[in-house]
Structure 1
Amino acid sequence: MMSHGAKSRSQGRRDHAMAESPTGIIGTGSCLPSTVVTCDEIDRALNARPGWTQRATGIRERRCAPAETSLTDLAVGAGREALRAAGVSPSEVRTIIVATVSPDPPVPAVAARVQDRLGATHAFAFDLNAACAGFVFALEVARPLVGVDVERPFVLVIGCDLWSRMTDPLDRQTWPLFGDGAGAVVLGPVKEGGFMATELATNGSLGDYAVGGFSPPLPGQAPESTGHLFRMRGREISELMFEKLPKLVNTVTQMAGVAVADVDYLICHQANPKLVARCAEEAGFAGDRNVSTGEVFGNTVGASVPLGIDAAVQDGRLREGSLVLLAAFGAGMSWGGTLIRWSKPGARVEER
């Protein structure tokens, strides 16, 4: 029987003759706008009862970029921090991938502007759009590119979005959820650990679950129109996450030959922190094993997973040898998960 959607699976092996070492994440970084929007402010703006936003979503506050801040600004900031943490210079980067659905503007790619501002003159750069699942998809695209060029073996992957500009302030389904931010990782050859297994899937027949997100009105729409802004079917997306996340976790861990109980942390896209906590517990990750940043950042779309990774690195949870499972669900509908054995920070294989 043919199933709906397409799937892609991979395990952490390398096929390129020049890249015998495993691939891992060797540096992380974040960049967040300084403006904080609290749940009390959201409640007042929506004329909701005090505490409604936090009760409904689990979000206490989120970040909102001022008009003078561009998506590229955030992406560059996160990328620079990740390179610094990895001990990698921009000249050593061969590829830059930016996972985003809110480029400013769509042409040229955000990644091209990041390449220029970082001074990574030897890197080729492109954007990837898989909505909230974009960062996990970008990791799978990036992984086989690591080590292909022995002089420039590193790949910079950035997840970033300014989704507060793409939602209707009067829409209770979307506006309270979304914040702005950027997170980044550097992929490189490592001596031990690294990527172990990945599962990706898309079911385009569910494309109407989440649509829109253009910042100006579309041609033919009135200037005051909100029809171009992001809309989603929250109940259906919630049901999809409850159905797919436990299956995704089981599939990826089985591919890697480990038990769910052996995985130290789940870092899941923060669609709605309250929903994610329930889904995570259903999948076997209760309490501190579920790395949650949505309470203070909200749903940052493509930035959600890398922000969670960097937070877990900064607070000391992710350390050498930790098993971490990254998972995300995004418009499309697309979803994916990848299991990583965490490498030593800044670990890199010496050139032969």
Structure 2
Amino acid sequence: MKLCRRLEQKACLISTALSLFLGGSSCSVTTQTGTPKSFADWCLSKKNLPPETKRTVYVLLQKAGTSNCTQANQKLSTTTRLDLNNNQISDLKPLSSLTNLTYLSLNNSQISDLKPLSSLTNLTNLYFMNNQISDLKPLSSLTNLTSLFLNNNQISDLKPLSSLTNLTSLWLSNNQISDLKPLSSLTNLIDLNLENNQISDLKPLSSLTNLTNLYLTNNQISDLKPLSSLTNLAGPSLGNNQISDLKPLSSLTNLTGINLQNNQIADLKPLSSLTNLTSLGLSNNPISDLKPLSSLTNLNHLHLENNQISDLKSLSSLTNLNFLYLENNQISDLKSLNSLTNLKEIQLDNNPMLTNKTCPVKPESICKF
């Protein structure tokens, strides 16, 4: 074995001397000395690399603005920010030595293996949306991360994220997540997006008291009790779930907007205390009684499409309304809306009991029958 290696080395030296004499380049011995340690090593051996690795090297050379391996290495090894979106990258190994990176974005790529990132411990912002990632273990060492975007992947196990306690923004929509327990330690989170997953139990979120924005649309949620402690919430999105009881929200008086469309809500009483609301989405529910909304005088946008509403009297106090959506209900009389002079749009399509289609406010063009 040693004899073979010596013969290979001698052959390489002879080939190098001959190539230099003829004006060519020296042969690469990188593959003989193990895995490349720097981007320069990857670059110098690019002709011998698999196609997916070679592509990453060429994309990085393009980013460096030079085809010279040494110059590219000097530039890339000191850079702190790399945006490599939409480049069909699948192999991250040539990035493994770029330890000064603080920002890395590889959205819309073909990445499944994150292992080469485990050494990039200075990263604070990481964007890997629209990839093929399922294993997050390599991220567990990146404890300086403050923003992590992993929307549209194949993630189900969040355990590796439990150590990332500096995170303030975490986006995980469109994955296969059901268990949120590993997130309970991420108490610095301000923004959390978990839309389009398989979540039913919100208990692990009860400790995340710094949360301001929470997105949970399209899950399997029925119990909102764990949210009652999240008093900093401003605009949760809870549409397309199985919610019927809104009592846990009654204490969240800092709420300015909430989306509750496509649920099973009939009783709006718990919302009457949320007087800071400016936007409220309640379309596609079995709602008939609007009395609890009469106290929400700061409302600007109100969505009540596809309910069982016939009486609008309770809306007469909402004089700050600009946009009101009442399609597909059982409304017969619009007189109660006469006081809403700030309205810019009223949607009233498909109210079969409404025979007098005269707009209650001016100009009449704002009414859509």
How would you bin the TM-score normalised by the shorter chain? under 0.3
Q: Which has the higher strand share?
A: 1
Larger Rg: 2
Q: Which has the higher helix share?
A: 1
Q: Which has the higher contact order (CA 8 A, sep 6+)?
A: 1
TM-score normalised over the length of structure 1: 0.18
